[in-house]
Structure formats: C-alpha cells, structure tokens
A and B are shown apart, each in its own frame.
Chain A
Amino acid sequence: MKIHEYQGKQLLRKYGVPVPVGIPAMSVEDAIAAIPKVQEQAGTEVVVVKAQIHAGGRGKGGGVKVAKNRAEAEEAVKKIFGMQLVTKQTGPEGKKVQRLLVEQGLALDHEFYLAMLLDRGIGRVIVMASAEGGMDIEEVAEKHPEKIFKHAIDPATGWMDWQSRLLAKQLGITGKLVNELVKMMGPLTKCYEEMDCSMLELNPLVTTKDGRVLTLDAKITFDDNAMFRHKELEDWRDPNEEDASEQEAKKWDLSYISLEGNIGCMVNGAGLAMSTMDIIKYYGGAPANFLDVGGGATAEKVTAAFKIITTDPDVKAIFVNIFGGIMKCDTIAEGVITAVKETGLKVPLVVRLEGTNVELGKKMLADSKLNIIAADNMADGAQKVVKAAKEAR
C-alpha cells in the first residue's frame, strides 16, 4: 500500500524524524488559508506548494512550485490544484491533483538520497544512501555504483549509531551535523520496522544552512502482507489513486491489476496468472487484467472475481485458466456458474481446468449448460480466447 507524501511526513514527524513545517489541503480555499499559517509557524516568507499524487517525478511535471511570498504561493495553489499532472510514472493521461501540501521553504546546504528497503539476497533490510541527492538514483546506481553506500540492519540489534556515523563520513557530512544524522536515523529505522514498511525513500534528505538535517520528501510503501497489524492505515487509502476494479478486488482479498487489453483472465496462482498474460500476448492478444484468485478461495470469492471481469466494459472474451492444487476445480466451477446466473454472460468464455477435483469441476460446468468453450491445455485455451476476442470486435 502506498501513501501520500504529506501522510508519510505526518508518520515520520510522529516518530521524531525532522520534517519541514507543512499543512495538507484538500481544496484551493484550504490551501490558501494554509499559506500564512505555514509562514508564521516557520518564520519565513518562502513556501513550497506540492501536488500530492502517488506517482514520482512531480517536480519535473510542474507539480511543485517554490513561492517567494504569499501572492506567488496563492498563484501556485490555483495553478497546481486540479491540474492533470503528467510525470514519467503517471502515463500520458496524467493524474488529477486533488490534494496539496503547503510547506516552508528552506535554505539548503546539500541534498542527499536515502532509502530503506529489503535486500532479498541477504534477507535483511538495508539503508541505502548517496550524496548525489535529488538526482535520478537509478542513473547514479548504473553509472556510479561506488557513490551509493549500503548498510544492512542486524535483526538482533536494529540500526546502530555507529552505522549512522560511518554513513555520515561516507556522505561527507561533518561537524555537528553528524549528530543530527544520528538523531534522525534511530527514529527513521524504528518507523520502518514497527510500521512494516516495504520501501521508504527520502529524496532529497537535506542539510540546511542553519545546521539541521531533515527530509524534504517522504515516499513510503507498506507491506500488504502486514496490513492485519496496521488497521489504522486503511484510513490513509486515497480512492482517487486506486482503480475501481482494483478496489473491489481488494475487498475480496483478490490479487488484481487492470491492464490495457480486452481479454479478461481468471487464473489461480501468481506465476500461472502472469504466464497466462504472457501466452495471450504470444498468440497476438492482449490481457485486460492480471487476476490471481489465490489458493484458499471460496465459491463466493470466485463469483466476486468473475463479476469484476464481466463488468469491465473493455472485456471482449474471458479466459479461465485453472490448475488446481489448494484451489479445487469444483469451487471454481461453482463460483463461475453462480456469477453467470446473477449477472449473465455477454462475451465468449474459454475454460481450461486441470488439477484437484478436475472431473467434478468439468461435470458441474457441463451440467450447467453454460455456453463454454472448453480448452485442452493452456496453449489451446490461449489461442481460442484470442480468436474469440478478435471475432467479437
């Protein structure tokens, strides 16, 4: 689960990580009212108006403006709020800006990059930092890997102060600022651990001319598997950032991703679901979605999954590809039959069933008299569904 920058900063502030004075706003009026409050609290004229969307690259897309005074800030608010912000991560259609963060401007000394994430190779969380802040970190990683410093966190001790001191040395942070970094890293790493983050990116983390270390950005992603420990985070979901079908899928605990094509897919298992997309593309079709109904799904859940696909207006044909293990074929058949009874079926349906209770599943589908195109195997099913989708156009 992703959250907005302002939410990330609220969380970090709670943990004691220094962040600039800032107020989030959900409307132009709120944002304009926030400007003098931020100026007063921070004791400076300069404010920064930042678009709050989940995608990165907001600055380059015109979603972040530094304003020297109140008038300029108001102008920036009016310009950014409601705009269709296009960044390299939003796709060409962009994302409508419906939330802003009004923040104090700071006299920066230096910008750094700092991130925390899981290093799968060693099975530990690492802190990764570079003195080349504000730049595209992927580019730094490729051209100058020696400029990126990595430190693994020992699960027995957590992050240690000596690691902060060593990191300060590597980043060229000196004098009193070293201790400021030490004071920041403790709470930051504690937040990552306690909140079950899967990615925490501060780009940039800055030192200021008045001798402080704080973060100007906060991009935080949480581990979806740990949401049962953090029910409070549900309130931070922004429906505008999520696809309607994906939200419906989430309610049913289904793994679903909307795609551009017209062939709806219902598959069990993530690997098979991905490969089903691959083979549809291979035979000249385009998948409308990734949908893994998972292992322990009930017939109700399968029904919900099938309805998500049939209600997508872009879907011209459906491919159900099941190789049952923990998922039983009769459960799939029952779910599909119920869904079709309740909502009807307007497009061709290709079904390939194999695995646990396959004979029972096939018999149920045959007895239901539904208009189903049966497939012998994955390649056969993929070719049949691609053909059906082409003919439906």
Chain B
Amino acid sequence: MSVLVGYDTRLVVQGMSGSAGAFHARQMVEYGTRVVAGVTPGKGGAKVEGLEKVPMFDTVREAVEKAGANTSVIYVPPPFAADSILEAAAAGIDLVIAITEGIPARDMVKVKYVLDHDYPQVRLVGPNCPGVITPGQCKVGIMPGYIHKPGGVGVVSRSGTLTYEVVGQLSALGLGQSTAIGIGGDPVKGTDFIDALKLFADDPGTSSIFMIGEIGGDSEERAAAFIKENVKKPVAAFIGGQTAPPGKRMGHAGAIISGGKGAAKDKIAALQAAGIAVAATPAEMGSTLAKVLA
C-alpha cells in the first residue's frame, strides 16, 4: 500500500521538451513510472529524445482525453508555472505535482484560491519540491530512485535534499518507505504537513512516519498538535536551520525567521512536547526513528 502515487498513476509531464523535463522523464520511465504523455505548447506531435514512445501534446486536455493521464508533474519555468498548474486542474487531473522552484508568491496565492474554490477535488503537491515516490512502484519528480526501498515508513518533508538524506539513512538501516512526499519549501503551497500526515495515518501500508521541517512559518507547530491528537503511529522528526541567522532567507522562499517567529528551537520544542523524537543532527535522522521503533 502507499499514498498519492503507485501502479495506477498515469503521468503527464508538463514541460517535457525542456532539458530538466526530458532528463527526469527518462529517469521516471526507467524507474517504471507509467509516463503516458508529455505537454509543451507548440510541440504537439513532436518527439523528445529517448522518449520517442511518449506522445507529445500541446495541451493537458489532450493528454487526459487521448492518453488517459490522471497525474501531472510540472517542470515549466517559474513565469509560466501558475498557468500550467491551473491548466492541469481544469483538464481534470486529480493530482498535480509542481517541481518548479521560484514561482512568485502572488501567483501562488491566486492558484491556491482558484484550486480551493473551483477544483476542491484536485490535490496540489509543491511547488518547489522534489516530488512523490512510492518505492518499487512509481516515481514522480526529481529524486534519485536507487536510494529508496519499499517498506513501511511514510516520509514527509519541506526540503528536497534532506528527504534524500533521510531516505538514504532509512534504507541503509533496512527501513523501507511506503511513500516519500516532498511538500516543498515555498510559503504558499498545496499539500502541507497535516494533509500528508492524514494520508499516512489512514494508510494501512504505513506503519511509522518521519517528518522533516525547517525554519519559517508555523506549520511544524501545527503538525505537532495534529499528531498529538490524531496520529497513533510512531513519528520521528528533524528540523533544519538550527543555526540560521534571523532575517535572512535561507534559499527556500519560506525559510526565514522573521519577527521572532519560525525559529528551529520553537519547532523542536513543540514536536518534543507532542511526544515526537527529534534527531539532534541530520546524520541521525534514520537512527532516531530506528530507536523509536526498537
């Protein structure tokens, strides 16, 4: 069992003719993901190198009608990404996974508003995220597939590379993953910790959870409260940015300590107060969960 993506996923790659889109589409096909279509406006009918069997369309609607796509992954550059997300939603795609980094916050405020009001059934993951993977079944995004192993740990993270780090550690300890969800580092995003935690809590294939947060905002604090009330499965966590200076944006648009809010120590305290084991260093993420499970 797993959440969000699996054997039933029929993927359309938006921006497949671009260099990142093409590279990662090939990697996804190699992993076993069913990539059923690519979309780049003006490139309908064209062939992308190494992906000759995947039909290209001008619009997502054609990818849904002619190729039966039900999930979309977005590699479109930031100025056009909001448009692409809403095109996918309007075409009837259920799950939109936006990899693109650098979308203006103003665009995402509008996207979120339209999704909430006009397409409440559509789930957005990201933007500015590594994607979602169900090991052994389906990889949607940019994560290196080989580090993952099928198993029972649900992973949810605001950071891409830290997700790889924890997955690498878990696999090395023999702890496979049910699904790993990168929710992304932007301040306005689709799926948040609580949405992902709900999915894992209800998934019979997930027996424990690892959560990676970072400085900025208060979603880790809210997640801690949610876990305390609703999640019976074992949870371990890590928070990045314990030594980050206030007022500086640490790469991710959402990773900034401002007005005395969003510091790592407050998040760690909230998680610990909810009974969650927090790894002291990023090198001890896997072993922290292993100890909880022992």
Q: Which residues of A contact B (CB under 8 A)?
A: 89, 118, 120-121, 123-125, 137-138, 141, 155-156, 193, 196, 198-199, 223-226, 228-229, 255, 257, 259, 267-279, 281-282, 287, 290, 292, 294-296, 323-326, 354-356, 358, 377-379, 382
Contact = CB atoms under 8 A, between A and B. Distances in A.
A325 B168 CA distance: 12
A270 B160 CA distance: 8
Contact of A123 (B113, B168, B238): B113
Contacts of B112: 123
Interface in B250-268: 250-255, 258-260
B269 interface: no
Contacts of A379: 281, 283-284
Interface stretch (B38-46, B47-55, B84-92, B97-105): B97-105
Tell which of B24, B108, B144, B251 has the most Cβ of chain A within 10 Å. B251
Interface string B126-158: 000010000000000111100100000000011
Q: How large is the interface on B (under 10, 10 to 19, 20 to 34, 35 or more residues)?
A: 35 or more
A276 B116 CA distance: 37
Nearest to A192: B106
Contacts of A257: 245, 248, 250
Interface stretch (B5-13, B61-69, B211-219, B229-237): B211-219
B242 A196 contact: no
A356 B251 CA distance: 21
Given A196-B104, A279-B281, A377-B283, A274 B188 contact: no
A282 B165 contact: no
A270 B244 CA distance: 11
A378 B165 CA distance: 9
Given A123-B112, A255-B251, A326-B24, A271 B104 contact: no
Contacts, number: 184
Nearest to B249: A224
Interface of B: 19-20, 24, 27, 78-79, 99, 101-106, 108-110, 112-113, 130, 141-144, 147, 157-162, 164-165, 168, 185, 187-188, 212, 214-215, 217-219, 222, 238, 240-245, 247-255, 258-260, 280-284
Contacts of A287: 243
Nearest to A326: B142
B249 A225 contact: no
A378 B159 CA distance: 16
Contacts of B214: 270-271, 274
A268 B161 contact: yes
Nearest to A272: B161
A39 B153 CA distance: 70
